[in-house]
Amino acid sequence: MDDAIHLTYPISPDDFTRAGEASSDVKRKLKQMGVNPEAIRKVAIAMYEGEINMVIHAKGGEIRVDITPEKIIMVLDDVGPGIPNVELAMQAGYSTAPDEVRSLGFGAGMGLPNMKKYTDSMDIETTIGVGTKITMVVNI
Amino acid sequence: MDKFYHSVRLDPDLCKGCINCIKRCPTEAIRVRNGKAQINSKFCIDCGECIRVCPHHAKYAIYDRPDAIKQYEYTVALPAPSLYSQFNNLDDVNIVLNALLLMGFDDVFEVSAAAELVSEATRTYITTHRDQLPFISTACPSVVRLIRVRFPNLISHMLPLNPPVEVAAMLAVSQAMKKTGLPREKIGIFFISPCPSKVTYVKSPLGNEFSQVDRVLAIKDIYPQLLSRMKAVGKDYPEIGTSGKIGISWGRSGGESSGLLSENYLAADGIENVIRVLEDLEDQKFTNLEFIELNACNGGCVGGILTVENPYVAETKLKRLRRYMPVARTHMSQEAEELIPWTTGVQYEPVFRLGNTMMESFTRLNQVERLCKKLPGLDCGSCGAPTCKALAEDIVRGQAQETDCVYYLRENLHRLSEEVSTLADDLAAGDRGGQETLRILKEYIHRISDEMSLLDGQEDDGDKIASQSTDTSSSGTSGSEASGAEASGRTGAVRNTVHQQNTPIEEKEDS
């Protein structure tokens, strides 16, 4: 994996206006690489959901993306409260987003389920009070 | 038919090689090479942004001259709704329509009338295809072209219906042929357009094999001719208008959506805003939307570069004009129903791919990342590319070199002169054999002067780079090739792309 393309995007907390920048940049690169549109779509949706999650729930963090000719690996590493019940969080519609976030149209409880739905594999490592690391893979 | 036909062109004689257009082009299609701008025909979407910003009027649009009307036995004018918004105190569209007849057209067919049919067809299409929501408007040719090259995942969301101008042209042709008995080629269908993007559409339509529009005239050319004739229309004139509020509203952003009689729409105008909406749409940021209306120009069609009035003033005039109009006056017929759907699909054109295969593209993307770390990141544009990243992409495509970056060159010069000074110190201290050190010293000075000449004479050197870029371009059709064709015979290039029954759009320079 030495020739993988390594990208790092810092995510600042509470900044909704910048959410989506990382996914836009990755999309642009995947299009330049000639990756099939379906894989691009999956990466775009999963990554945007992930970015928004980090903005809403965590105190920021960073997204690391590795692109190889076979797959795209996205690691979303945040400094946040952790997810107390991963099984519950994976249920569609379950949300712990505060009201002010919901009033912005976010927090529908579809974040994690969508990330799982649009990726080929998803792994969650979470520690209460420390943070969450989600690794998603989309095969090309 | 040329897949990448363009109505937005460059006049190299007027181009000063400044960076205004490269900075503002929304698809990064322009590079300054050899002291002149070049438009990459694969990236360009004919939005006309460069025509707007060029301080030297070196960008122009091509369209027909009004006297082309003499070349047909029977002519029909198709006024765009935005035409009505250009006049002060106009309270009846019929005055404009009658003035068009006085100008010499045999008949008029309002694009706004056809727009009401398209609105009706869109409403039906949305209700019968709810599983594919949302739909993106396909009325603005620049937006369709943008999606075709940059948003492959949104192609299936494009509304597969002909734009009003095409529906108007098809209906006008059939009416004229019935009325006159003339063969198709003796009838001239003239669209009076707010923008060059429609010229592109007519020459190389997407969604249809060819367009029934024969000629495209600019609103700004027709405007002065209409003014005098509108006075001549007088107070007693026949009512020939057949459109209402819905049709007229298509001239401004949000108009097409309002014709859908639904609240679940989004309307964005201005090419940068359009791109942002498409990006968000691709990330599935929006939910519960049925329709996305996108117009490349600020304010919608009233903001087209071939109009005369300020787009926001024009929008107000349009609102005032439609105030007392009925909602819609043109309704679906069986003939129209059959004419409205697209007959061909739109294919994704991956023009932004860096290489020919995925492996090649991947390797080049990796090189771009490394180059970006090396380049200063100032996006100064001095190299002729809009950003350092764009320069890096050009370099890996073989269309530019690292030495195109003035900062890179400057650093090189610093390094060389430091080495020269070390050598000179050595020589003075007598550490080395005199002759050999002198030879090396001379060589370094040579290299410095070579690099200096790169900085001074970008023009002489640019020749080499430009010709090289055409040869090594991975795709084979780079911007330089397109501009080469233009230089060798602009009219010829246009003539090739004209569909069977028509004579070409005549070149007319515009700035």
Q: What are the tens digits of pLDDT across the range B204-227?
A: 999 999 999 999 999 999 999 999
What is the mean pLDDT of the segment spanning B53-72?
A: 96
Q: Assess whether pLDDT exceeds 60 at residue B474.
A: no
Tally of structural domains, chain A: 1
Cβ-defined contact of A3 to B352 (cutoff 8 Å):
no
Q: Assess whether pLDDT exceeds 70 at residue A44.
A: yes
CA distance B475 to chain A (A): 13
pLDDT over 70 for what percent of chain B?
A: 88
Q: What is the pLDDT of residue B416?
A: 85
Q: Assess whether pLDDT exceeds 60 at residue B382.
A: yes
**Minimal Cα distance from B149: which residue of A?**
A31
Among A70-84, B196-210, B256-270, B458-472, which stretch is predicted with the lowest mean pLDDT?
A: B458-472
Q: Assess whether pLDDT exceeds 80 at residue A99.
A: no
- pLDDT for B93-118, tens place per residue? 999 999 999 999 999 999 999 999 99
What is the mean pLDDT of the segment spanning B274-279?
A: 95
Helix (H, G, I), strand (E, B) or coil at B58: coil
What is the mean pLDDT of the segment spanning A14-34?
A: 88
Q: What is the pLDDT of residue A90?
A: 86
Q: How confident is the model at residue A77 (pLDDT cuts 50, 70, 90)?
A: very high
Cβ-defined contact of B283 to A33 (cutoff 8 Å):
no
**A37 CB within 8 Å of a chain B CB:** yes
Among B137-141, B308-312, B412-416, B489-493, which stretch is predicted with the lowest mean pLDDT?
A: B489-493
**Reported pTM:** 0.86
Q: What is the pLDDT of residue A19?
A: 79
What is the mean pLDDT of the segment spanning B67-95?
A: 96
Among B114-123, B153-162, B419-428, which stretch is predicted with the lowest mean pLDDT?
A: B419-428
What is the mean pLDDT of the segment spanning B460-465?
A: 42
How many angstroms separate the Cα of B53 from the Cα of each of B24, B25, B59, B391? 8, 9, 9, 22
When CB atoms are compared, the residue of B153, B287, B350 closest to A41 is B153
Question: Are the C-beta atoms of residues B56 and B288 closer than 8 Å to each other?
Answer: no
Q: What is the pLDDT of residue B501?
A: 34
Q: Assess whether pLDDT exceeds 60 at residue B463.
A: no
SS3 letters across chain A: CCCCEEEEEEECCCCHHHCCHHHHHHHHHHHHHCCCHHHHHHHHHHHHHHHHHHHHHCCCEEEEEEECCCEEEEEEEECCCCCCCHHHHCCCCCCCCCHHHHCCCCCCCCHHHHHHHCCCEEEEEEECCCEEEEEEEEEC
b/e map of B46-60 (b: 16 or more CB within 10 Å)?
bbbbbbeebebebbb
Domain that holds residue A47: 5-139
Cβ-defined contact of B284 to A48 (cutoff 8 Å):
yes
Which CATH number belongs to the domain containing residue A89 in this structure? 3.30.565.10
Closest CA to B150 of B323, B294, B8, B310: B294
Higher pLDDT, B322 or A66: A66
**A69 CB within 8 Å of a chain B CB:** yes
Higher pLDDT, B258 or B421: B258
Residues 6+ apart with CB under 8 A from B56: B14, B15, B16, B18
Q: Assess whether pLDDT exceeds 70 at residue B142.
A: yes
Question: Are the C-beta atoms of residues B201 and B1 closer than 8 Å to each other?
Answer: no
**Minimal Cα distance from A67: which residue of B?**
B362
Q: How confident is the model at residue B196 (pLDDT cuts 50, 70, 90)?
A: very high
Closest CA to B55 of B24, B33, B86, B31: B24
Mutate to test the interface with B, among A32, A43, A74, A114 (most CBs of B within 10 A): A32
Q: Assess whether pLDDT exceeds 50 at residue B47.
A: yes
Among A75-84, B88-97, B253-262, B450-459, which stretch is predicted with the lowest mean pLDDT?
A: B450-459
Among B9-23, B76-90, B434-448, which stretch is predicted with the lowest mean pLDDT?
A: B434-448
Q: What is the pLDDT of residue B485?
A: 34
Query: How many Å apart are CA B55 and CA B214, to the nearest integer?
Result: 32
Give me Rg for the CA atoms of chain B.
Answer: 27
Cβ-defined contact of A31 to B352 (cutoff 8 Å):
yes
Q: How confident is the model at residue B462 (pLDDT cuts 50, 70, 90)?
A: very low
Query: How many Å apart are CA B222 and CA B230, to the nearest integer?
Result: 12
**Minimal Cα distance from B366: which residue of A?**
A5
| Chain A residues within an 8 Å CB radius of B368 | 32
Higher pLDDT, B291 or B485: B291
Q: Assess whether pLDDT exceeds 70 at residue B506.
A: no
When CB atoms are compared, the residue of A28, A41, A69 closest to B362 is A69
Helix (H, G, I), strand (E, B) or coil at B206: coil
What is the mean pLDDT of the segment spanning B496-506?
A: 39
Q: What is the pLDDT of residue B432?
A: 59
CA distance A7 to chain B (A): 9
Tokens matching residue B99: 């003035």
Q: What is the pLDDT of residue B499?
A: 32
Using a 10 angstrom Cβ sphere, with 0-12 exposed, 13-18 middle and 19 or more buried, the burial of residue A28 is: middle
